[in-house]
Structure 1
Amino acid sequence: MRWISYIVGILLLGLDQVVKYLVSSKISVGEVKEVVPGVISLTNLRNDGAAWSILSGNQVFFYLITVVALIVLFYLLYTQRQHSIYQWGLILMITGTLGNFIDRIRLKYVVDMFQVDFFNFPIFNVADVCLTVGVLVLFVAIIRDERIEG
């Protein structure tokens, strides 16, 4: 069963890179294409920072923090391998971290494309979704475990 999460992680990493490639090759930088009017659009944004371009241009910082994060995440994955819900959360977080790290190494920026149109929210990508869902899964697992122990 553990291998299924690894396969899903690899498939999501591939999806992230394919979507980034397609957006980069089909949509000009800064161009916006409505998908669901007033809800979500596709764009091609080159982000060399974090959300909302925070810390823009600090690639060395992002390289270092990503390597440290991956080491910690892989260590946690190894130590929590018997707990499937933790494993799923960690695999998703590793997938998202690797997806954006590949961009930073290869392109020196991260390709973002999903734009929420009805409120101010950072433009994001598949890797960001994996990271966010992974954090939520871990949060639920921790809360669940505290209830069982408490």
Structure 2
Amino acid sequence: MIYYLVVAAIILFDQLIKYLVFSNMNVGQSLPVIGDIIRITYVQNQGAAFSMWEQQWIILIVLPAVVLVAALVLIYMKRNLWSRITILSIVFICGGGIGNFIDRVSRGYVVDMFDCRFIPSFDFPVFNVADIFICAGCGLLLLDVIFLEGKRAKK
């Protein structure tokens, strides 16, 4: 099924980028990409988003495992009932979630690397490919629910 191939591609891309950072940089090392605005900075995040819930393994391992399995089952069960945008948003969230889950289980932390400093004096958290897909999936799902679900319901 194409949706599961997309999930696998997201996981592979995420893990490849993390491997390149993990194997070629030291923790805390930072390389400029576009001056000081965009940098590659190797960070080990032991928590969830914005380093919340560090050392809270129930929240960081068990809960995501249950939610990800449920979401993967839903993709299969609802593939012909839900819109492609709804399914794609869940696929993005699952791919990113599994990518970060692999890190937490195998390393005990998530490898983050994208360090964006668009606004001076605002310390935006360092993030990774998985985080991008999770946020894109959530945003896509939100847009789908707000703008398209009502139109589909009227039909």
TM-score by length of 1: 0.90
Which runs of no fewer than 5 residues in structure 2 stay unpaired? none
1-structure distance, mates of 2:56, 2:78: 32
2-structure distance, mates of 1:105, 1:114: 21
Contact preservation (8 Å) 1:9, 1:92: yes
Is 2:8 the partner of 1:10? yes
Deviations 1:92-147 (A, max 9, x none): 11101100010011001000000111233211111111111111121122121124
For these two proteins, the number of residue pairs brought into alignment is 148
1-structure distance, mates of 2:22, 2:60: 22
Question: 1:10 is aligned with what amino acid?
Answer: A
3-state SS of paired residue (2:86): helix
2-structure distance, mates of 1:29, 1:121: 18
Contact preservation (8 Å) 1:48, 1:58: no
Aligned-pair RMSD on alpha carbons? 1.6
Is 2:126 the partner of 1:126? no
Q: Which residue of the partner structure matches residue 87 of structure 1?
A: 87
1-structure distance, mates of 2:51, 2:60: 12
> Where in structure 2 are the equivalents of 1:111-122 lying within 5 Å?
111-119=111-119, 120-122=123-125
Q: Which residue of the partner structure matches residue 61 of structure 1?
A: 59
Contact preservation (8 Å) 1:96, 1:131: yes
Q: Which residue of the partner structure matches residue 107 of structure 2?
A: 107
1-structure distance, mates of 2:40, 2:34: 10
Is 2:38 the partner of 1:40? yes
TM-score by length of 2: 0.87
| Deviation for aligned residue 1:10 | 1.1
| Deviation for aligned residue 1:148 | 4.0
Deviations 1:28-71 (A, max 9, x none): 10011111113211011001101221111223331111112213
Q: Which residue of the partner structure matches residue 149 of structure 1?
A: 153
Deviation >6 Å, runs of 4+: none
3-state SS of paired residue (2:53): coil
